[in-house]
Amino acid sequence: MLEPTSVHHVPDAISRGQRPGDVRRVNRATALELLRERPQGRAELARAMGLSKAALGGLISDLTLEGLVLEHPPTAIARGRHPAPLQVNARRFSVLGIHLVPHGLEVGLYDALGTQQEVLYAPSQIGEGFERVLSQVIETSHALMIRAKKLRIGQVIALTIATPGPLDSQRGVVLGAPKFPDLNGMNLKHRLEQALNLPVRLERDVNAAAMGHLRQTKASSFVYILITGPGIGASVVINRTVYRGTHGFAGEFGHISLDPKGIACPCGNRGCLERYASSEAIENQYKKRNRKTLSIAEMTQRAREGNPQAQAVFDEAGTAIGLAAVTLVNLFDPSQLVLASSGTSFTDLLIPSLKRQLAKHAYPYLNLGAQLNIENVTLEHPVAPGAAECVLEAIYQGEIAIPKSNTEVVMG
Ligand SMILES: [Zn+2]
């Protein structure tokens, strides 16, 4: 069974009842997360972590020796000395967050605080085979590894690559993604680690986007729905942890069948949600009704201008998502439903009809469906920054070591 992956979780500082290694690891991660939120002085940090000044002193001296935390010399002010703020050294290292989908590749370069420095996009190599897709990822990653040196933000030390599921993130293998056959059965993690000489994590695209969202929200349990060109996925976040399911397949929201006699889906089933509400399905629906081809970006613009034909198609897609979301709400009782799309940002257009379905069909107790907080994400590319969050978390928690000096990372 796969364990749930902890996400942007600030663990409680611990000092008793744990093995010394665990105590150090948890305290280190907690201190880094708190300092990442905002620079603060030793006294404030010690209070927030429930540690004595002496215990915190040891931890801070380790982190400053690692070059991961900077402590500026105290500044003299009129009365006494102003406490020195501690802060995470944004330039200690950098990471890559990668989003690979059938219609394209996005590689972002992020500093140690997760701030995006550069991003490169490349068109799809789908249908040209795994080796071609892989070499494109490697070339683009290399370009940004060189860029990190030029920007002097610290060398790239690890990366997360996010792709459509299903996948086995522990082994690093993509499993049967119906619309991305080039990747099926391929050990993307192992091949990238070999080629780039860096630790690599593989993550489902929607889980990565949900991890990015965790940095922006205080909500502890939510369902994050991501609409991409051909698909829809969901990430179920419980107590600020992504739930993966027994085989890592949790969240295949797009393959909930709304109509067993409906449109055939590449997954082998019929009437799957994503045949009605992915970006491609919305484009197809418009074409079918109006005998005219418009891109999702053009349709979005028209709908915003009040065009009834475009609005009707978004309305229908929102209804389909709402019907499927009723099951999610009844199963998980989340505090929030998050809607995002990759590419053109259009999910706000789905919300009115989606809300109507929830109000009508979700379990009526407490009026859950009507009361549910629906948050719309306006980021056009939420996955790559989320992928960077996944790898930053692993580094902060000590699961991926930071090389002592940049020279220890050798580019392949
Ligand atoms: Zn399907």
H helices present in 220-270, as ranges: none
Question: What mean pLDDT value characterizes the chain?
Answer: 87
CA 148 to centroid of ligand 1, rounded, Å: 40
CA 232 to centroid of ligand 1, rounded, Å: 10
Phi and psi based region of residue 376 (left: phi greater than 0; alpha: psi -120 to 50; beta: remaining): beta
Query: Residue 149 belongs to a domain with what CATH number?
Result: 3.30.420.40
231 and 303: one domain?
yes
Sequence letter at residue 408: E
78 and 222: one domain?
no
266 and 390: one domain?
no
354 and 230: one domain?
yes
CA 391 to centroid of ligand 1, rounded, Å: 30
Q: How far is CA 408 from the centre of its chain?
A: 28
pLDDT digits (tens, 9 = 90+) for 172-219: 998 876 778 888 888 999 999 999 999 999 999 999 999 999 988 889
- Give the β-pairing of 156-163 and 94-101: parallel
Q: Which domain holds residue 396?
A: 94-208+383-408
159 and 253: one domain?
no
Q: Name residues whose C-beta falls within 8 Å of residue 70's C-beta, 6 or more positions apart in sequence.
A: 64, 86, 87, 88, 89
Domain termination residue (choose one: 71, 88, 105): 88
219 and 200: one domain?
no
* CA nearest neighbour of 177 among 243, 133, 123: 133
Distance CA 338, CA 204 (A): 17
48 and 99: one domain?
no
pLDDT digits (tens, 9 = 90+) for 141-171: 999 999 999 999 999 999 999 998 888 888 9
> In this predicted structure, what is the pLDDT of residue 6?
42
Three-state SS across 261-309?
CCCECCCCCECECHHHHCHHHHHHHHHHHHCCCCCHHHHHHHHHCCCHH
Are 57 and 103 a contacting pair, CB within 8 Å? no
Percent helix / strand / coil, the chain, rounded to 5: 45, 20, 35
| DSSP letter for each residue of 3-23 | PPEE-S--PPP--SSS-HHHH
Q: Name residues whose C-beta falls within 8 Å of residue 135's C-beta, 6 or more positions apart in sequence.
A: none
174 - beta bridge partners? 167
> In this predicted structure, what is the pLDDT of residue 8?
41
14 and 121: one domain?
no
292 and 328: one domain?
yes
CA 348 to centroid of ligand 1, rounded, Å: 24
CA 343 to centroid of ligand 1, rounded, Å: 21
290 and 353: one domain?
yes
CA 268 to centroid of ligand 1, rounded, Å: 6
203 and 148: one domain?
yes
> In this predicted structure, what is the pLDDT of residue 256?
92
> What are the residues whose beta carbon lies below 5 Å from ligand 1 (ion)?
255, 265, 267, 269, 272
Q: What is the pTM of this model?
A: 0.88
What is the token pair recorded at 140? Answer: 């683009």
String of b and e for 333-360 (b: at least 16 CB within 10 Å)? ebebbbbbbbbbbbbbbbbebbbbbbbe
CA 179 to centroid of ligand 1, rounded, Å: 10
Domain termination residue (choose one: 61, 88, 115): 88
Query: Residue 48 belongs to a domain with what CATH number?
Result: 1.10.10.10
Are 339 and 349 a contacting pair, CB within 8 Å? no
Q: How many domains does the chain have?
A: 3
Q: Name residues whose C-beta falls within 8 Å of residue 196's C-beta, 6 or more positions apart in sequence.
A: 138, 141, 142, 145, 159, 411, 412
Tally: H helices and E strands in the chain: 13, 17
230 and 131: one domain?
no
> In this predicted structure, what is the pLDDT of residue 83?
64
pLDDT over 50 at 15, yes or no? no
